[in-house]
Chains A and B, each alone.
Chain A
Amino acid sequence: MDVLYFAWVRERIGIPKETVPSDAATVRDLVEELKAREDRYEAAFADLSALRVALDQELSDFDAPLAGVREVAFFPPMTGG
């Protein structure tokens, strides 16, 4: 699946987008897989309460299942307007 990062999450991980081969069942499982990769992921995902997630461009949550999802995005709380 495609995994996208925005704002300081993008800066901490160092890339805006990557394709991640994963069988993770939930968003939380995917986060654990990413954190196990490298320190920069561990740093970005240290506090999940500071993050939001969107699945196929719809806001979701960390317990949501990933079956059938093509695009996962991680970002801090939004600051539009």
Chain B
Amino acid sequence: MKIAVQDAPFDLGAEADAFARGHRDMGAIVTFTGVVRGDGGLATMEIEHYPGMTEKAITAIAEEARDRWSLGDVLVIHRHGRLAPGDLIMMVATAAPHRKDAFEAAEFLMDYLKSRAPFWKKELGPDGASWVAAKDEDEDALRRW
């Protein structure tokens, strides 16, 4: 299991390739990648986090996923700091013997990372800076698990 919280960019291809190799008994690898959208003339996005708690919270979420599904491995990379439209914010990858577990666990990880990992997004656009508000549907998304 690899959990990385970093300000540096990551190489999606290299990370996915490294994750996919070396699992001889895993028939399914799912990856999800989050990208900064340039909606509404967004110029930059700043992501703040809570050093220490962030890593703990993501590890707890990943361990919960491993308890619920049959997974061989989990990868979570989440960036913080200043990002621009088109930049990769984060990725998750799951490895499982069968694809249903890999897909469901990846969705679970994404739903929990969205509202239970201590990150806060601030958008800087033509109208100035504003903190992204959490959405009710993000909280609703947790109830299905």
Contacts and interface: CB of A to CB of B under 8 A. Distances in A.
B120 A76 contact: yes
Contacts of B82: none
A80 B114 contact: yes
A34 to B, nearest CB: 19
Contacts of B56: 57-58
A38 B113 CA distance: 34
A54 B131 CA distance: 20
Given A7-B122, A7-B131, A57-B56, A80 B117 contact: yes
Interface string B120-144: 1110000000011110000100000
Main secondary structure, interface of B, reads mixed
28 contacts: A6-B50, A6-B120, A8-B131, A54-B50, A57-B52, A57-B53, A57-B57, A58-B53, A58-B56, A73-B50, A75-B118, A77-B133, A77-B134, A78-B114, A78-B115, A78-B118, A79-B114, A79-B119, A79-B120, A80-B113, A80-B115, A80-B118, A80-B119, A80-B121, A81-B34, A81-B89, A81-B90, A81-B119
The 5 closest A-B pairs by CB, nearest first: A77-B134, A80-B119, A81-B114, A7-B120, A57-B53
